[in-house]
């Protein structure tokens, strides 16, 4: 069952909400919680009922280990319980997600043949495994035990808005909300904001992400088939996937936050205009923010952060990013993607240190141009990384990059020949279509050739949208999209001061509803000054806007596509 399916929107969601508010509104709060848990389990089991057994076993096991960590007093026994819990969780994850990858790697290294394991990757296993590992680590470290009821803990893990693809929720962010009796009674303002968020996310997914997906699919498929792509083709494919992934995943996150908001539960925001980042450190402050928090708090800082010198910091950064890449998928392309971002971060840190040591006084104009150049370089670096993220193999990624730098020639649409014909003297060719790839409209039964200028115009429009337009939370600042503080593991003061090594420090989402766009001037490339006046309010104008966006998305649900992050 997908968020963007008629079954979910027209049946599951209204039935779930109606019964939840009917039960909760009569004061049966625990029964309403149980209903929400039951609905979440039905939602999860819809794809494959067998996977529900794994989810339930994972919940029961981790809750039991957590209770043991609270009740056992001996330090060595508590540590043994923690090691047991983490080991079992990682073993489950390794078997279902990485078994065939490990077998293939061993077979290649030893020049032997190993039969793959017949296993289906359970949806959301990476997310609910990491969430529960965080719970176990916190239970071990916390001087005050977490007295969670099993019902609340089970709903924390399986809550359907975030279960499949995040945001990656921390137990402190959500479990205490289940004790708030206000969420069990219908709140029109909260529901209106939730519907708006859900509609925006649905529009991002169905209209924007799926709108450019065919270009990415066709061009990467051509590269997989060994086609030597020209510059325009390769860049269209790379940029199309760059936009598809952002609108797909941020759309899912908006829908998840919106669904929870309909019930009155606040989930953390996962994106903050990542393609406006002015350096790669800034990018990781904005992209998949809940995963960045987890990697920082439960991997980077425990490894030592930068407390043990620059060399150790660099090693910790690379280790964190390599494992972060592997978390996304069982393939060397994901490992290379993570390693590439690790290298980006190291270069960023070295450049920042050099800049600080030079201590040069620059004019405001020079700083503006430096910031713009830094933004462009960051964006190109991110696009290069996405090529590895999307490619089926390292060979395909290299083939795409060869095309992007022009090693396979340059070809432009024939429609541009009249205005740019002089470029033929430089070896540029003009064709009726891009010579290597025939883009197709997947919605039609027959193959339809598309003038290459169409994807170019679409991609250009979407790039302007992500670079210049306010993001979801900037539109919705007046309504406090999320009110969840980052209550992850609290490091030492020394680590607190060094959080920018990997990601920004805790974001106080409680102030988000009071922010205006001026708050984003230092972090956004081109803030839109009108957004403060145009920000969301629960009124008729925004009701019409939400209805239009949602209706446009609903009218395009004929072909339902999965979210990209379901694969991870």
CA-to-CA distance for 356 and 364, rounded, in angstroms?
A: 17
CB contact at 8 A, 160 and 39: yes
Determine if residue 492 is left, alpha or beta; phi over 0 gives left, psi from -120 to 50 gives alpha, anything else beta. beta
Q: What is the mean pLDDT of residues 488-505?
A: 35
Distance CA 7, CA 348 (A): 46
Residues 496, 493: Cα–Cα separation, whole Å: 5
In angstroms, the CA 198 to CA 204 distance is 10
Would 220 be classed as within a structural domain? yes
Instruction: Name the band, by pLDDT with cuts 50, 70 and 90, for residue 247.
Output: very high
Q: Which two tokens stand for residue 386?
A: 């996405």
In whole angstroms, what is the distance from residue 81 CA to residue 68 CA? 7
Percent of the chain with pLDDT over 90: 55
ω into residue 527 within 30 of 0, thus cis?
no
Give, as one character, the DSSP assignment of residue 411.
Answer: E
In the structure, what pLDDT confidence band is assigned to residue 473 with cuts at 50, 70 and 90? confident
Q: What is the pTM of this model?
A: 0.85
Q: Are 436 and 229 in contact (CB under 8 A)?
A: yes
Q: The tokens of 224 are what?
A: 């997989």
Strands 429-431, 411-413: parallel, antiparallel or unpaired by DSSP?
A: parallel
What is the pLDDT at residue 100? Answer: 87
3-state secondary structure 260-281: HHHHCCCCCCCCCCHHHCCCHH
Beta bridge partners of 430: 412
For residue 431, the cross-strand partners are 413
Q: Is residue 141 part of a domain?
A: no
At 232 the pLDDT is: 85
State yes or no: pLDDT of 515 exceeds 50: no
Cα radius of gyration rounded to whole Å, the chain: 24
Look at residue 418 and tell me if it is in a domain: yes
Q: Six-digit token pair at 293?
A: 């928090």
Q: What is the pLDDT of residues 330-385, one digit of tens each?
A: 899 999 999 999 999 999 999 888 877 776 555 555 677 888 899 999 999 999 99
Residue 441, pLDDT score: 38
3-class DSSP state for residue 413?
strand
The fraction of the chain above a pLDDT of 70, given in percent, is 83
The H or E element that residue 431 is part of is strand 429-431
113 within domain boundaries:
no
Kindly report the backbone phi and psi dihedral angles of residue 549, in degrees, each rounded to the nearest multiple of 5, phi listed first: -60, -45
Q: How many CB atoms lie within 10 A of CB 227?
A: 17
> How many folded domains does the chain comprise?
1
- For residue 215 the two structure tokens come to 């270009």
Structure tokens at 197: 């968020």
Find the catalytic residue in 170, 171, 288, 328.
328
Determine the average pLDDT of the residues in 80-89: 96
Give CA separation, 329 vs 19, 93, 376, in Å: 38, 11, 28
Sequence-separated (6 or more) residues with CB below 8 Å from residue 67: none
Q: Among candidates 62, 124, 101, 95, which has minimal Cα distance to 566?
A: 124
Query: Which tens digits make up the pLDDT trace of 521-557?
Result: 334 444 445 555 566 766 777 778 778 888 888 777 7
Which domain, by its residues, includes 197? 187-271+355-568
Tokens of 114: 């190993």
The DSSP-derived string for 469-491 is: S--HHHHTGGG-S----------
> Average pLDDT, stretch 447-458?
70
Predicted confidence (pLDDT) at residue 436 exceeds the cutoff of 60: no
pLDDT at 185 over 70: yes
Is there a domain that residue 342 lies in? no
The structure tokens listed for 419 are 């205005």
Q: Is residue 218 part of a domain?
A: yes
Report which of 500, 502, 534, 505 is spatially closest to residue 517, judged by C-alpha positions.
534
Q: What is the full DSSP assignment across 226-264?
A: T----HHHHHHHHHHHHHHHHHHHHHHHHHHHHHHHHHT
The rounded distance, in Å, linking the Cα atoms of 498 and 307 is 9
Residue 488 has pLDDT above 70, yes or no: no
**How many Cβ atoms from other residues are within 10 Å of residue 133's Cβ?**
19
Comparing 17-31, 38-52, 303-317, the range with the smallest average pLDDT is 303-317
Provide the CA 116 distance to its chain's centre, in angstroms. Answer: 29
In a domain, 2, yes or no: no
How many residues in total does the chain contain?
568
Q: Which of 170-184, 233-247, 481-495 has the lowest mean pLDDT?
A: 481-495
Q: Is 328 a catalytic residue?
A: yes
Q: Find all residues with CB under 8 Å of 85, minimum gap 6, and list them.
A: 61, 62, 65, 66, 133, 136
Q: Identify whether 331 is part of a domain.
A: no
Residue 3: its H or E element: none
């Amino acid at each position: 069952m997908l968020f963007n399916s008629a079954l979910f929107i027209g049946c599951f969601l209204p039935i779930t909400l109606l019964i939840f508010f009917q039960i909760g509104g009569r004061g049966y709060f625990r029964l309403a919680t149980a209903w929400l848990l039951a609905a979440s389990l039905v939602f999860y089991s819809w794809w494959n009922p067998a996977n529900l057994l794994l989810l339930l076993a994972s919940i029961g096991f981790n809750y039991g280990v957590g209770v043991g960590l609270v009740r056992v007093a001996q330090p060595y026994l508590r540590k043994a319980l923690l090691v047991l819990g983490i080991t079992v969780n990682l073993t489950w994850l390794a078997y279902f997600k990485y078994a065939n990858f490990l077998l293939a790697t061993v077979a290649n290294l030893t020049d032997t043949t190993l039969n793959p394991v017949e296993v289906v990757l359970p949806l959301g296993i990476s997310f609910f495994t990491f969430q529960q590992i965080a719970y176990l680590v916190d239970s071990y470290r916390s001087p005050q035990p977490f007295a969670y009821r099993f019902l609340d803990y089970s709903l924390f893990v399986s809550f359907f808005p975030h279960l499949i693809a995040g945001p990656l929720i921390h137990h402190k962010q959500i479990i205490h909300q289940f004790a708030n009796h206000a969420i069990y009674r219908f709140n029109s303002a909260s529901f209106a904001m939730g519907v708006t968020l859900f509609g925006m996310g649905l529009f991002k997914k169905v209209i924007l992400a799926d709108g450019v997906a065919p270009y990415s699919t066709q061009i990467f498929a051509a590269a997989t088939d060994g086609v030597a792509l020209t510059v325009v083709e390769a860049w269209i494919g790379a940029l199309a996937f760059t936009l598809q992934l952002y609108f797909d995943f941020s759309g899912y996150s908006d829908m998840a936050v919106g669904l929870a908001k309909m019930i009155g539960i606040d989930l953390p925001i996962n994106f903050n205009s990542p393609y406006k980042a002015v350096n790669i450190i800034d990018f990781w402050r904005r992209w998949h923010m809940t995963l960045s928090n987890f990697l920082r708090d439960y991997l980077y800082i425990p490894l030592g952060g930068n407390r043990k010198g620059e060399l150790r910091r660099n090693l910790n950064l690379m280790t964190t990013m390599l494992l972060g890449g592997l978390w996304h998928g069982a393939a060397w392309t994901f490992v290379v993607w993570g390693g590439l971002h690790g290298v980006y971060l190291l270069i960023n840190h070295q450049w920042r240190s050099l800049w600080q040591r030079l201590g040069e006084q620059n004019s405001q104009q020079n700083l503006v141009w430096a910031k713009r150049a830094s933004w462009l370089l960051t964006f190109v670096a991110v696009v290069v990384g996405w090529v590895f993220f999307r490619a089926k193999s390292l060979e395909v990624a290299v083939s795409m990059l060869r095309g992007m730098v022009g090693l396979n020639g340059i070809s432009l649409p024939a429609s541009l020949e009249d205005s740019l014909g002089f470029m033929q003297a430089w070896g540029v060719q003009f064709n009726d279509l891009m010579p290597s790839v025939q883009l197709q409209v997947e919605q039609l039964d027959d193959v339809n050739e598309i003038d290459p200028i169409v994807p170019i115009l679409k991609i250009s429009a979407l790039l302007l949208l992500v670079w210049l337009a306010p993001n979801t939370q900037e539109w919705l600042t007046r309504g406090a999209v999320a009110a969840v503080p980052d209550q992850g593991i609290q490091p030492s003061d020394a680590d607190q001061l060094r959080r920018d090594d990997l990601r920004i420090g805790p974001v106080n989402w409680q102030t988000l509803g009071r922010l205006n766009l001026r708050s984003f001037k230092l972090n956004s490339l081109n803030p839109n000054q009108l957004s403060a006046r145009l920000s969301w309010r629960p009124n008729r104008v925004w009701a019409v806007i939400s209805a239009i966006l949602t209706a446009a998305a609903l009218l395009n649900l004929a072909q339902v596509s999965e979210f990209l992050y379901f694969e991870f």
